[in-house]
Amino acid sequence: MSRTASESDPLVRVENLRKYYNNDSGLLGGLTMDSEFPFVRRESSYVKAVENVNFDIHKGETLGLVGESGCGKSTLARTVLRLLDATDGSIYFKGTDLTELDGEELRRTRKDMQMIFQDPQSSLDPRMKVGPIVEEPMKAHGMLDPEGREARAKELLEKVGLDPQHYNRYPHAFSGGQRQRVNLARALSVNPDFIVCDEPVSALDVSIQAQVLNTMQELQDEFNLTYLFIAHDLSVIRHISDRVAVMYLGQVVELADKEELFENPQHPYTQALLDAIPAPDPRATDRRTVLRGDVPSPINPPSGCRFRTRCQKLIQPEAYDLAEDEWRRVVEFQRAVKRRNFEEREPSAVRSRFLDDVDLRGEAGRIVTDAIDHIAADRFDEAEALLTESFADQSICAKKEPMYEVAPELAGDRHVVACHLHRED
């Protein structure tokens, strides 16, 4: 199954792609109320939905894109198809930069790129019959005559596993899985090379999911299609992809061949994500480690590595000389202060809960003691600022954006990982 990079140029190449949303559009956008004079402020801010994304997709391959909700997967997909305009960067499709096309040229290129959406209900016009729905893109691109289009629509319906007799039915007469098949037929009608699938099976029942996934794979083999397949379900991604890109907060943090990524994950986020999936097996005893906290806001993302605020492997600043487990405890303590996660505020209780009664040496110990005193006096803001400035913000993870390449161990020929653990000293 694995189709590794061919010698030819990639079908799609995305370079330094950025997409920002302006957060202060509208009459009252960007206004914030203050308790002090002048009471109202107007601030410009951007939601940095996609930041510096690079990848290639080769002909006939499936690139899986996985990440938690809100990490920018759909925005990325839409930007790649130029349904949204990129803020910066380039998207090359068959060697042409899509960001520089407009008008008629762009419209004609779109014939070769199609999209399948998540919700099979709202992506089909309820007042159109299925046949005309499938014919619509052909009409838009001036393909064939009316009889030819009808014949092709029927042929495609059959190809995706529906009965050609259903040509005259309305979408409501179909179940979710069948509607997604209609979407597939519509996408295929203009004979595209590249299909972006945005969570195409996540709204379907598991047994139906499997049917649709199998059909998609058969069609890929038959028409030599290239998929960009977005999903939040790692099992589905593992099943359908050749290579996988993992996204976190607008950035690709790891990109590798499927086997390599699942069996030899290098980024702590990928590892956490893989640990989080429950296996359908009651005897799987290895208790999964749970990723704490929520995804930070993309309006003001953490500096450096965006995952560092939740990372289990945050790198110790060079200024300190703590043992590994001491450093982990300090990090846990800092994050707990940030979450205000305290029932007991008494210094000795705090010390025993978070630091296991270990006395930290030197500078680090002094800072922690100060922070504990702040907490006892209910000055959480001071404690948080002190800990964050002295520990979290001093780490290399906060100072520099990571981007490294490691040698793949299992499969594929590139393994990109954005984590400072792989830096060369």
Partner 1 sequence: MTTPLLTVDNLKTQFFTEDGTVRAVDGISFDVYPGEIVGLVGESGAGKSVATSSILRLVDSPGEIVDGTITFKEKTLFGLEAGPDGEPRPSEEMLTEEEMRKEVRGREIAIIFQDPMESLNPVFTVGGQLREFIELNRDLPTEEAKQEAIDMLREVGIPDPENRYDEYPHQFSGGMRQRVLIAMAIACRPDLIIADEPTTALDVTVEGQILELVAELQEKYDTAFIWVTHDMSVVAEICDRVNVMYLGEIIEQAHVDDLFYNTKHPYTQALLNSIPRPDETIEELDPIKGVMPEAINPPSGCRFHSRCPEAREVCQRVHPEPRDLSANDRPHNAACVKYDVFDVGYDASPPLETDATGGFSAGLTQTESEAEADGGDR
Q: Footprint of partner 1 on this chain (CB under 8 A)?
A: 1, 68-69, 161-163, 166, 169, 172-178, 205-211, 213-214, 217, 232-236, 238-239, 258-259, 262, 272-274, 276-284, 288, 290-292, 294-295, 338-341, 343
- To the nearest whole angstrom, how small is the minimum distance from the Cβ of residue 208 to partner 1? 7
Q: How far apart are CA 176 and CA 193, in angstroms?
A: 25
CB-wise, 286 or 318, nearer to partner 1? 286
Q: How far apart are CA 30 and CA 20, in angstroms?
A: 15
CB-wise, 340 or 361, nearer to partner 1? 340
CB-wise, 166 or 415, nearer to partner 1? 166
- To the nearest whole angstrom, how small is the minimum distance from the Cβ of residue 53 to partner 1? 20
Quick check: 254 and 265 in contact, CB under 8 A? yes
CB-wise, 205 or 363, nearer to partner 1? 205
Cβ neighbours of residue 305 closer than 8 Å, sequence gap 6 or more: 311, 397, 398, 401, 402, 418, 419, 420
- To the nearest whole angstrom, how small is the minimum distance from the Cβ of residue 140 to partner 1? 27
Characterize the bridge pairing of strands 46-57 and 12-22. Answer: antiparallel
- To the nearest whole angstrom, how small is the minimum distance from the Cβ of residue 162 to partner 1? 6
- To the nearest whole angstrom, how small is the minimum distance from the Cβ of residue 181 to partner 1? 9
Residue 95 burial by Cβ neighbours in a 10 Å radius (0-12, 13-18, 19+): exposed
Amino acid symbol at 163 = D
- To the nearest whole angstrom, how small is the minimum distance from the Cβ of residue 407 to partner 1? 22
- To the nearest whole angstrom, how small is the minimum distance from the Cβ of residue 262 to partner 1? 7
Quick check: 421 and 313 in contact, CB under 8 A? yes
Quick check: 54 and 18 in contact, CB under 8 A? no
- How many other CB atoms are found less than 10 A from the CB of residue 73? 24
Strands, E assignment, 23-112: 31-33, 40-42, 46-57, 62-66, 88-93, 96-97
- To the nearest whole angstrom, how small is the minimum distance from the Cβ of residue 365 to partner 1? 26
CB-wise, 90 or 271, nearer to partner 1? 271
CB-wise, 94 or 169, nearer to partner 1? 169
CB-wise, 108 or 339, nearer to partner 1? 339
CB-wise, 291 or 315, nearer to partner 1? 291
Quick check: 207 and 213 in contact, CB under 8 A? no
Cβ neighbours of residue 78 closer than 8 Å, sequence gap 6 or more: 84
Burial string for 248-285 (b: 16+ CB within 10 Å, else e) reads bbbbbbbbbbbbbbbebbbbbbbbbbbeeeeeeeeeee
- To the nearest whole angstrom, how small is the minimum distance from the Cβ of residue 188 to partner 1? 18
Q: How far apart are CA 241 and CA 44, in angstroms?
A: 39
Cβ neighbours of residue 255 closer than 8 Å, sequence gap 6 or more: 55, 243, 244, 245, 246, 261, 414, 415, 416, 417
Vertex 116 angle, CA 114 and 117, to 5°: 135
Quick check: 316 and 327 in contact, CB under 8 A? yes
Residue 90 burial by Cβ neighbours in a 10 Å radius (0-12, 13-18, 19+): middle
Angstrom CA distances, 340 to 78, 215, 314, 381, stand at: 38, 50, 20, 10
CB-wise, 44 or 69, nearer to partner 1? 69
CB-wise, 164 or 365, nearer to partner 1? 164
Q: How far apart are CA 77 and CA 95, in angstroms?
A: 18
- To the nearest whole angstrom, how small is the minimum distance from the Cβ of residue 293 to partner 1? 8
CB-wise, 114 or 334, nearer to partner 1? 334
- To the nearest whole angstrom, how small is the minimum distance from the Cβ of residue 106 to partner 1? 34
SS3 call for 4: coil
